[in-house]
Amino acid sequence: MSIQYQIKPQSPNAHIYEVVLRLSKPNSEGQCFSLPNWIPGSYMIRDFSKNIVEIQAFACGKKISLEKTGKNSWKTEPNLPELELRYSVYAWDLSVRAAHLDAQHGFFNGTSVFIEAIGFEAEPIQLEIIPPDGEAYKNWKLASSLIPSDVDSLGFGHYLAVNYDELLDHPVEMGEFERVSFEACGVPHDIVLTGRFDADLDRICADLKTICEYHIHFFGLPAPVEKYVFLVMVVGNGYGGLEHRASTSLLVSRKNLPAKGVSGINDDYLDFLGLCSHEYFHTWNVKRIKPAAFVPYKLESEVYTQLLWAFEGITSYYDDLALVRCGLIDEKRYLKLLGKTITRVYRGAGRLKQSVGDSSFDAWSKFYKQDENAPNAIVSYYAKGSLIALCLDAEMRVRSNNEVGLDDLMRRLWTDWKKTQKGLEEREIEEIVSELVGISLHDFFDLAIRSTKDLPLEAALEHFGTDTFWRAAKTATDLGGEANEEVQKPATGMRWKAHAKGIELTHVLDGGAAQLGGLSAGDLVIAVDSYAIDPAGLELYLSRTCAGQTLTVAFFRHDELHSVEIALQEAEKDTCYLIASPKGESAFSSWLSSKNPS
Ligand code: ZN
């Protein structure tokens, strides 16, 4: 093979991987190289090249010059018969997006460690992964969805990738992890768990099998993968995931895993199942069906698309919907989850300023770089995107007399992808929806994707036999989703977190009492009406106040003490809960128990 990579955890305590890239026929005009600046699925420039510590080039055993041509690019001299690039990568980022290495375990994404040889991106690649030296690492194993060609019993050795794009899309975990396995529709699935935990792994296998089989049947057999791996990093406090073509990397908290001997699904475990369901659905929706702008991924700089509502929003709609449809949770529990999502969207005034299409387009500089003003300025293409998917599902059913719905759209997109493997143009989904329904839905898309008007949400839910109710938040930690006794607690228009000296304001909402009174995010509030406060004390104090009442707030901004008066406002009814309507029983059950085609 004309291109080979070799990677080894060289120095776990220093967090250093050593990588060797060998080229048998480099470009005679001088070989160019570059490292990605972002990782697919996480739309932010991350400049992975900042972690390349040392880099050297060799030809026929002799060191040669290597010119730096950009922050992440290099070029050799011309006319080299062969070429070897040797470099070290610092890996100390415990996230799903980059690379990590210490004496406990190693994890890497190809985007962090494999420099691209320009001009060779379509060539097949051989990859050798070598275990770290030393007795301490003799029990390390390797887990990945890479295709092995010659590996030992622990998983170290040689792997193959059909091209550079594939090389980047199989993250690798190594260490003394736990591995459990199950089959879904005949396809082997591994769950690889790293970190300290005590959990019922049999239960996780059984529940993930149910979810994976639901999704495979949803899109239709056969599954698009020959093997699938859930790489799970278990930590004290964390939550997130990143999708890949035949695996996913997850970072979860210990509490997200089910305890042994406990039945039922608590909210923490439900979050884990929802995350797994989400990433697995991406195996079809974004890893294969994807925006044309991502074909191929251009990892040098930002790639713009308005379509993330379809890839993250529709995926977010189906991640929880699959849990009720496959019987892991009941309808009431699903409505609670949906009520929380609706609450999250409707509590942000940013939804009235930024369209979902713009949120997607500007993900690089806004959604992925959220600051204290985010609730006032931006909308999530995940959360609002999932409500668009819900409304689109209802619109399609209403306008087609229940002939087609969103399930049919997803299956059509999948069938099309299998035929052409082409990406979707920016308005192509809208055309396909109109074609499936038989009439144009452009008015719906103009409103949902390109405007900042609220969605026809209550009508959509009514179509699905569900009544929507709104109430005021009961406490600062009230996330919605459930009915709650009506409490006329006034609104402060601020969000906060605990601080050793009081509370620190994290967000100040547009037009709210705090903003009108002169408070800002970052202010450290130490007293209200001359009483020292902490989060619990403030909640208690507020529960005894009413709208119109004025509070004197003492706070530090930077290191200067200030005092302002804020006039409490009537609490907005921005907290949603949903109840199945007795009238809409058949629509409700056809929505939530939609069976997959056999
Ligand atoms: Zn996602």
pLDDT grade, residue 484 (50/70/90)? confident
CA of 307 to the centre of ligand 1 (A): 13
Rounded distance, CA 311 to CA 339, Å?
Answer: 21
544 close to 528: Cβ distance less than 8 angstroms: no
DSSP 42: B
| Cis, bond preceding 188 (omega within 30 deg of 0) | no
Per-residue pLDDT band for 593 (boundaries 50, 70, 90) equals confident
Question: For residue 275, how far is its CA from the centre of ligand 1 (angstroms)?
Answer: 9
How many angstroms is it from 316 CA to the middle of ligand 1?
Answer: 7
| Predicted pLDDT at 477 | 85
Q: Which residues on neighbouring strands pair with residue 555, listed in sequence order?
A: 525, 562
d(CA 486, CA 471): 7
Residue 51 has pLDDT above 80, yes or no: yes
How many angstroms separate the CA atoms of 105 and 93, rounded? 12
- How far is ligand 1, taken at its centre, from the CA of residue 145, in Å? 19
d(C-alpha 357, C-alpha 312), whole Å: 12
Please give the Cα distance from 528 to 530 (Å, whole number).
Answer: 5
Which amino acid belongs to residue 383? Answer: A
Q: Which of 196, 69, 175, 180 is nearest to 132 (CA)?
A: 175
User: Cα–Cα distance between 158 and 322 in angstroms, integer?
Assistant: 37
Distance in Å, CA 555 to ligand 1 centroid: 39
Per residue in 267-288, pLDDT (tens digit) is: 999 999 999 999 999 999 999 9
Spacing, Cα 250 to ligand 1 middle (Å): 11
CA of 411 to the centre of ligand 1 (A): 19
SS3 content of the chain, % helix, strand, coil (to 5): 30, 30, 40
Evaluate whether 33 touches 41 at the Cβ level (below 8 Å).
Answer: no
Question: What tens digit of pLDDT does each residue of 83-129 get?
Answer: 999 999 999 999 999 999 999 999 999 999 999 999 999 999 999 99
User: How far does residue 69's CA lie from ligand 1's centre (Å)?
Assistant: 34
**How many angstroms separate the CA atoms of 197 and 253, rounded?**
9
Give the distance (Å) from ligand 1 centre to CA of residue 455. Answer: 22
In a 10 Å sphere around its CB, with 0-12 CB exposed, 13-18 middle and 19+ buried, how is residue 160 labelled? Answer: middle
How many angstroms is it from 266 CA to the middle of ligand 1? Answer: 22
> Could you tell me the CA-to-CA distances from 28 to 23, 31, 77, 168, 261 in Å, in that order?
12, 7, 9, 26, 65
Cα 281 to middle of ligand 1, angstroms: 9
**Rounded distance from Cα 311 to ligand 1 centre (Å):** 7
Express each pLDDT in 366-424 by its tens digit. Answer: 999 999 999 999 999 999 999 999 999 999 999 999 999 999 999 999 999 999 999 99
pLDDT for 598 beyond 60: no
Indicate the DSSP class of residue 12. Answer: G
Ligand 1 center to 225 CA (angstroms) = 18
DSSP assignment string, 324-388? HHTTSS-HHHHHHHHHHHHHHHHT-GGGGTS-HHHHHHTTTTTGGG--TTHHHH---TTHHHHHH
Nearest to 244 by CA among 226, 223, 230: 230
What's the CA-to-centroid distance between 319 and ligand 1, angstroms? 9
Ligand 1 centroid vs 42 CA: distance in angstroms? 9
Q: Report CA(372)–ligand 1 centroid distance (Å).
A: 23
**314 Cα: distance to centroid of ligand 1 (angstroms):** 9
- The answer to whether the beta carbons of residues 303 and 293 sit under 8 Å apart is yes
Give the predicted TM-score (pTM) of the model. 0.96
Q: Express as a percent the part of the chain with pLDDT over 90.
A: 95
Does position 486 have pLDDT exceeding 80, yes or no?
no
Cis peptide before 222 (omega within 30 of 0): yes
Looking at residues 453-464, what average pLDDT do you find?
97
341 CA to centre of ligand 1 in angstroms: 15
Mapped to the 3 state alphabet, what secondary structure does 450-514 carry? HCCCCCCHHHHHHHCCEEEEEECCCCCCCCCCCCCCCCCCCECCEEEEEECCEEEEEEECCCCHH
How sure is the predictor about 596, in pLDDT bands with cuts at 50, 70 and 90? Answer: low
Structure tokens at 500: 């050793």
Ligand 1 centroid, distance to 287 Cα (angstroms): 10
CA of 279 to the centre of ligand 1 (A): 6
What CA–CA distance (Å, rounded) separates 181 from 484? Answer: 42
Residue indicated by tokens 């899309």: 169
Evaluate whether 391 touches 455 at the Cβ level (below 8 Å): yes
Q: The tokens of 31 are what? A: 């070989």
CA of 115 to the centre of ligand 1 (A): 26
| Average of per-residue pLDDT across 249-257 | 98
363/385 Cα distance (integer angstroms)? 13
Using the mean position of ligand 1's atoms as its centre, give its distance from the Cα of residue 188 in Å.
Answer: 23
Residue 306: name the closest of 367, 241, 356, 243 by CA: 356
CA of 460 to the centre of ligand 1 (A): 24
Half-sphere exposure of residue 353: CA atoms within 13 angstroms, side-chain side: 12
Is the pLDDT assigned to residue 32 strictly greater than 70?
yes
560: buried, middle or exposed (CB in 10 Å: 19+, 13-18, 0-12)?
exposed
How far, in Å, from the CA of 222 to the mean position of ligand 1? 23
User: What separation in Å is there between the alpha carbon of 359 and the centre of ligand 1?
Assistant: 15
Span from the CA of 207 to the centroid of ligand 1 (angstroms): 20
CA of 186 to the centre of ligand 1 (A): 25
Do 508 and 493 contact (CB within 8 A), yes or no?
A: yes
Cα–ligand 1 centroid distance for 154 (angstroms): 31
Ligand 1 center–CA 271 separation, angstroms: 14
